[in-house]
Amino acid sequence: MASTFLRVGIAVSVCASGVAGAYDFLGPDSCQSCHVEAYTAWKASPHARAKDVLSPTQQRDARCLSCHSPNDVDQKQAGVTCESCHGGGQYYSPRYVMKDAELARLAGLVDPTEKACRACHDASSPSLKPFDFAAKLKAMDHWSAERARRKSSSASVTPEKAPVRSFAQWLRHQPPSLVRQTP
Ligand code: HEC
Ligand code: HEC
Ligand code: HEC
Ligand code: HEC
């Protein structure tokens, strides 16, 4: 009950501050500690190197950066990073938020869609073949290994804390601007 009330408050402040992507980025290294498999797969992928394929002049060209390093200017992040797709991790990355799928999304975690891919994989990208979502999604798999690990270790995982307490704990670490709007 109390938790639901607080969630509504968070939802209001999230909406008031604009799109999810507007939150500060913590950088891929910050995700690595908890998402080892995802990080390793991403690091070896063209997305991680997307800025490196540009020449020094092109690396200063906003027309190229918009797809090859979309958060270069606003967040000082090179390449297409975790947070370019999943949203800035400022509020969702603490463990007790991440463990609560619903809360994580209220705090800015984004589920990337086909439409999001097509923002960059469009007719103006160099590929001669049309973008095949299912095939390209498979080609950038960075979740199967982690899901398999979670499944096999679920029995040994320690019981989670009560959600209300976890949420209150999280709330205490939030800046006044976010907390103020919660009644
Ligand atoms: C302190 C550890 C921690 C950090 C740091 C962290 N995560 Fe998570 N993340 C988790 C846990 C735990 C889950 C829940 C996994 C589960 O369902 O068992 C999760 C879930 C996710 C999910 C799946 C959510 C869902 O419900 O389907 C995504 C996507 C994700 N994290 C992305 C990120 C990104 C991107 C970053 C870096 C900005 C990040 N995480 C940082 C621990 C963390
Ligand atoms: C609309 C998004 C978009 C823009 C803008 C864009 N690119 Fe790309 N670029 C892509 C995508 C997506 C790929 C890879 C997939 C493909 O081949 O379609 C790519 C691939 C490349 C590659 C090949 C990399 C490799 O690994 O072989 C180079 C080089 C490149 N782009 C340079 C540029 C330069 C230079 C600019 C600016 C003048 C630019 N791109 C602007 C989306 C874009
Ligand atoms: C180009 C966009 C993109 C980038 C970059 C990206 N992801 Fe993802 N991520 C996705 C998509 C799309 C899915 C969902 C795949 C599915 O379920 O079909 C996903 C799934 C995940 C999942 C699994 C969620 C679950 O339900 O089990 C985790 C964890 C995750 N990503 C973390 C990361 C981390 C950490 C990074 C950086 C090291 C990263 N992602 C980079 C698009 C991206
Ligand atoms: C912010 C722009 C951006 C977004 C969003 C994005 N990509 Fe990419 N992607 C790129 C660029 C740029 C490259 C080329 C990198 C290089 O080769 O240097 C690329 C390369 C790839 C590649 C490897 C080359 C190829 O075409 O086979 C795959 C696979 C891929 N992207 C899949 C996806 C999928 C699936 C999504 C959506 C979940 C997605 N991308 C979202 C910019 C983006």
Q: What is the pLDDT of residues 55-71, one digit of tens each?
A: 999 999 999 999 999 99
Q: What per-residue confidence (pLDDT) applies to 1? A: 40
Nearest to 90 by CA among 176, 7, 21, 148: 21
Pick out the chain residues at pLDDT < 50: 1-6, 8-21, 155-164, 181-183
| 77 CB-contact burial (10 Å; exposed 0-12 / middle 13-18 / buried 19+) | buried
The Å distance, Cα 44 to ligand 2 centre, comes to: 17
Q: CB-based burial of residue 131 (10 Å sphere; 0-12 exposed, 13-18 middle, 19+ buried)?
A: middle
For residue 54, report the distance from its CA to the centre of ligand 2, in Å.
9
Ligand nearest to the CA of 50: 4
Cα–Cα dist 90/95, whole Å: 12
The length of the chain in residues reads 183
CB 53 within 8 A of CB 116: no
Whose alpha carbon is nearest atom 41 of ligand 1?
31
State pTM to two decimals. Answer: 0.86
98 Cβ partners below 8 Å, 6+ apart?
A: 34, 92, 104, 109
Shortest-distance Cα residue to atom 36 of ligand 4: 117
Answer whether 90's CB lies under 8 Å from 109's CB.
Answer: no
Specify the pLDDT at position 148: 92
- pLDDT score, position 162: 43
Q: What is the pLDDT of residues 153-164, one digit of tens each?
A: 764 444 444 444
Ligand 1, from 25, 91, 98: best to mutate by most atoms within 8 Å of Cβ? Answer: 98
Q: What is the pLDDT, as a whole number, of residue 150?
A: 87
CA of residue 94 to ligand 4 center, whole Å? 27
**What's residue 171's pLDDT?**
61
Residue 98 Cβ < 6 Å to ligand 1: yes
Of 82, 93, 71, 70, the residue nearest 41 (C-alpha): 82
